[in-house]
Structure 1
């Protein structure tokens, strides 16, 4: 008998002819995630991914890491062994006793999956026999088939599996199976969540961060790098491009109306992000915009912003309530960093009354007073690039 972790991959199982591509990438991601466990072996068999060969004391650490891998629906720590009904009875009792010692329960249910049709007993017969065995040998338990405190699962294949826990993970699709996109990453709450959500759908992400140094501090930029490090728990590494927006902001401030600063800055940011994205073979942009949250996120503002770029813009938070976004930020570990009080580029030359219903024609007219292409080229050429990896 050995400890084994079975991994169910949920949505991936619904894929058609290209399913193997998704599973292969999932296995690569799992191997990278648990790379420090030198004895662990990852394999694929009968619609699941398995991890075995590890030391029993390493199991909980492995589970903790696997819970951060996109594409995994559930994680099952189990006992794997050969043999017939007698061996199954021994392992079921062992597993049930261990579960009761760790988590006091009053009721249970046995569920059997008989994949090996040559096994002499049918699934209901196995359940009845094992249920009676547990009742006889573990005091204080009763059977509850509707809402049990403990489930005892038995799978009879070419080998046997017995387990009492099923840990639900992140789900989604394996990272790096959905193309590449460029995330506009600020130091706020929303954009890291947007990046996490799109990565969960398989998109490989890079990031571009805008600062206004020396009007914004180096610590403000490092805060963004810290957010990227948090995201690396789920995506392993992120390339972050830092762009100084200050020369563009100064040009807008000197040549355009104050109320236009927010929307014009946003249009420039999108154009710069698109230029970098295309250089980096990204097929889309990602933003943390949520409809109506601030002046640049009204329908009118988003429409004007959209028309500054050709690439599609993914806005996973567009209909999300701020409270819901904050809950996800807390869940993924970015919230505490996001709320640190360091200024970002959006605070520079901030107008008292920014436009909330801008007109594209007016924005285009205002941009004629600025050397747009020259400023964009300069900003891109002077960017700095760092690869952020998991701690």
Structure 2
């Protein structure tokens, strides 16, 4: 039977030891950090509907509760260095402490190796003995009970935390994540792909006291969105405490369509990364977010060579932080296992692989500038303005119904989203031409009592627009495969 089970009839006290970094701050900073720490603790327990009382001892935080789930939850609050559960007992003399320890551990150490570890907390001038005095006195008493002292390979750990009026005994101490309380360093925006890297990068910044919102660029429609929502949900439920995080969703399929039409294939992957950072900067301009967080690791893939990272970088109002830059992939995966995101991330397909042939590995900023100049400069602003913003509570809500179809519905008006020149070169019978750049702003002028089939060159812009129209009451569909599919479905020319 564990010590916690022996004390199960008493109200559980979970003692939290604070991260060393918190304890060394100047008094005013320490007070601010500790206030945020207490709010995060209350939020973490409140989210699980755990009744509790928090007692701030400055050098420790005591959480009184009768719900043992609290131990695991508090072990995931940033700022917790160590934690153990016990109950407070009063003492007046060292003999009182030895008697209490003996009553708890005599039977547990009989015929076993044990070690006593005592520490005094608080104003040490209030003690007339030191930690070693207590360790020797209690150790002697437990030897008389049949135990054998072994400081290197003890079978029973006798932990004692001594305060001026109270003593706590414990048999095991759990590790917390340490770091700084989330929120003390302000707020940032973390780019989430659903893979190992972005989740681990987010966790590392949370550990450094940064409150995060998340930004997801949808490249694959509902399957991609569903995967990223699940990863974000797992990360947030376990590690985000004390503030209301949000997930921003920007549909990037029109960007891919633009690139595939106007940009050389070997630059697709690299330019996509730059445009994501640019879009992140646009979102961050609301004044809430101080920085962008990405999961890039130097040399891991073609877009993350030193040359390419330099080429991606453009002057932005928002700095970009890359906490994984010096990590190996196996280190990232090991960390994903520790923080609980490995299983969910391992099942996320690769949506960023765009094809385009062998990707460039040593680009320059000037080369990438030239490729970017081929794109519609207003597209990013339009897509960011149409983004969805979800609270963490909304991540589990059903996604929009899939809007893609492989045929032309019998009652549908076919809407060609290509340019007027492309429409003139080939058009589907009775189709109308509304270029995407116009449709995104003016489509709501069309009547809602019609069925619409939207198509573009590859089916990405049309999917974006159809999904945007569905919540507005339109019966809108997107033709999967775009122009190629429609040409196959078109009636033979007379």
TM-score w.r.t. the length of structure 1 is 0.89
Deviations 1:100-153 (A, max 9, x none): 59xx9522235353856455555444333222211222x3x2123455442332
Q: Which residue of 2 aligns with 1:18?
A: 29
CA 120–22 in structure 1, closer or farther in 2 if over 3 Å, else same: closer
Tell me which moved more, 113-122 or 153-162: 113-122
Which of these residues, 37, 40, 65, is aligned with residue 29 of structure 1? 40
CA contact (8 A) 2:86 2:168 kept: yes
Structure 1 residue 183 corresponds to structure 2 residue 190: yes
Which of these residues, 258, 271, 288, is aligned with residue 278 of structure 2? 271
CA 154–361 in structure 1, closer or farther in 2 if over 3 Å, else same: closer
Q: Which runs of 5+ in 1 are unaligned?
A: none
Structure 1 residue 95 corresponds to structure 2 residue 123: no
Structure 1 residue 202 corresponds to structure 2 residue 209: yes
CA 125–211 in structure 1, closer or farther in 2 if over 3 Å, else same: closer
Residue aligned with 1:230, SS: helix
CA contact (8 A) 1:109 1:148 kept: no
Report the CA distance between 1:154 and its aligned residue.
4.2
Structure 1 residue 337 corresponds to structure 2 residue 344: yes
Residue aligned with 1:208, SS: strand
For the residues of structure 2 that align with 1:341 and 1:152, how far apart are their CA atoms? Answer: 44
Which of these residues, 364, 374, 396, is aligned with residue 369 of structure 1? 374
CA 341–118 in structure 1, closer or farther in 2 if over 3 Å, else same: closer
CA contact (8 A) 1:189 1:334 kept: yes
Report the CA distance between 1:91 and its aligned residue.
2.2
CA 167–371 in structure 1, closer or farther in 2 if over 3 Å, else same: same
Q: Describe how 1:37-116 pairs up with structure 2 within 5 A.
A: 39-52=51-64, 54-55=65-66, 58-59=67-68, 61-85=69-93, 86-97=95-106, 105-113=112-120, 115=123
Higher Cα radius of gyration: 2
CA 67–125 in structure 1, closer or farther in 2 if over 3 Å, else same: closer
Structure 1 residue 5 corresponds to structure 2 residue 14: yes
**Would you say how many aligned residue pairs link Structure 1 and Structure 2?**
377
Q: Which residue of 2 aligns with 1:129?
A: 137
CA 99–295 in structure 1, closer or farther in 2 if over 3 Å, else same: farther
CA 3–95 in structure 1, closer or farther in 2 if over 3 Å, else same: farther
Tell me which moved more, 262-271 or 113-122: 113-122
Structure 1 residue 378 corresponds to structure 2 residue 371: no
For the residues of structure 1 that align with 2:315 and 2:260, how far apart are their CA atoms? Answer: 19
CA 343–116 in structure 1, closer or farther in 2 if over 3 Å, else same: closer
Report the CA distance between 1:84 and its aligned residue.
2.6
CA 293–123 in structure 1, closer or farther in 2 if over 3 Å, else same: closer
Structure 1 residue 256 corresponds to structure 2 residue 263: yes
Report the CA distance between 1:242 and its aligned residue.
1.1
CA 196–110 in structure 1, closer or farther in 2 if over 3 Å, else same: closer
CA contact (8 A) 1:3 1:80 kept: no
Greater relative contact order structure (CA < 8 Å, 6+ sep)? 1
CA contact (8 A) 1:112 1:127 kept: no
Residue aligned with 1:187, SS: coil
CA 316–120 in structure 1, closer or farther in 2 if over 3 Å, else same: closer
Q: Which residue of 2 aligns with 1:235?
A: 240
For the residues of structure 2 that align with 1:261 and 1:161, how far apart are their CA atoms? Answer: 61
Report the CA distance between 1:220 and its aligned residue.
1.8
CA 28–112 in structure 1, closer or farther in 2 if over 3 Å, else same: closer
Residue aligned with 1:77, SS: strand
Report the CA distance between 1:219 and its aligned residue.
2.1
